[in-house]
């Protein structure tokens, strides 16, 4: 497993620059303070949603599914890479996004890999690690594993919500597979379907 992945800032501007540095074109990250339709409409077409929450290590009994051929799902193999991995979960699952030469090649290369090998491919990618680390925080890095060992510390985790092939998925690299939340509906109808799931998460961690 590769080492040397730093903690990066949880900032939409940083995430947008990271995406650009990967060679992806025409994609920006916006911070949402509300899940209402007006807020969604203001940011234009929504390819996916990333949810940041305080990780508590609580048991989740929801069933996971085996990723279908159209679903990019990777196990998280690197403690500090969950933000970049959540971004990849959106980018790799939206066919309309122009990924650029290197990320298109990466997607094709990992297409038939199982989730754990996809995760290893991410951890071993020089491009992903270099771009990720270029946005490292200024303060000394402490791995999430060490932080998790201290009960008083707060550890945060990113997960993604994306529509793929007519279904709505929650993608969390710490789980065994995607969680299917039901039908996504046509166009951006999936945003209506995902709202209750995210709202439940907010209430759970508030």
Set 94, 132, 157, 180: catalytic member? 157
Give me the mean pLDDT over the 117-145 stretch. Answer: 83
Set 30, 82, 132, 180: catalytic member? 82
Would you state the structure tokens that stand for residue 128, as one six-digit string?
A: 């992903």
pLDDT digits (tens, 9 = 90+) for 23-46: 999 999 999 888 888 888 888 889
User: Is 180 a catalytic site residue?
Assistant: no
The band of 154, judged by pLDDT with boundaries at 50, 70 and 90, is low
How many whole angstroms separate alpha carbon 48 and alpha carbon 74? 16
pTM over 0.85? The answer is yes
Sheet containing 179-183, strands listed edge to edge, beginning at the edge strand earlier in sequence: 49-54, 156-164, 167-171, 179-183
pLDDT digits (tens, 9 = 90+) for 43-73: 888 999 999 887 777 778 899 999 988 999 9
Give me the mean pLDDT over the 79-106 stretch. Answer: 95
pLDDT of residue 79: 84
User: Is 157 a catalytic site residue?
Assistant: yes
Farthest CA pair distance, the chain: 46
Please, which residues bridge with residue 183 across strands?
167
Assess whether pLDDT exceeds 70 at residue 107: yes
């Amino acid at each position: 497993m590769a080492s040397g992945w730093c903690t990066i800032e949880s900032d939409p501007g940083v995430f947008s620059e990271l995406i650009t540095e990967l060679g992806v074109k025409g994609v920006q990250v916006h911070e949402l303070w509300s899940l209402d339709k007006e807020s969604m409409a203001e940011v234009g077409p929504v390819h996916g949603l990333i949810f940041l929450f305080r990780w508590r290590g609580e048991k989740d009994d929801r069933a996971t599914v085996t990723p279908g051929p159209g679903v990019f799902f990777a196990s998280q193999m690197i403690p500090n890479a969950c933000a970049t991995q959540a971004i990849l979960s959106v980018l790799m699952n939206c066919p309309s996004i122009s990924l650029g030469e290197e990320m298109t090649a990466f997607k094709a290369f990992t297409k038939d890999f199982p989730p754990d090998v996809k995760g290893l491919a991410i951890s071993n990618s020089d491009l992903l690690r270099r771009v990720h680390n270029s946005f490292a925080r200024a303060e000394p890095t402490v791995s999430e594993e060490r932080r998790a060992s201290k009960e008083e510390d707060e550890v945060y985790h990113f997960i993604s919500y994306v529509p793929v092939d007519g279904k709505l998925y929650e993608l969390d690299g710490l789980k065994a597979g995607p969680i299917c939340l039901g039908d996504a509906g046509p166009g951006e109808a999936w945003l209506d379907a995902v709202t209750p799931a995210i709202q439940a998460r907010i209430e759970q961690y508030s």
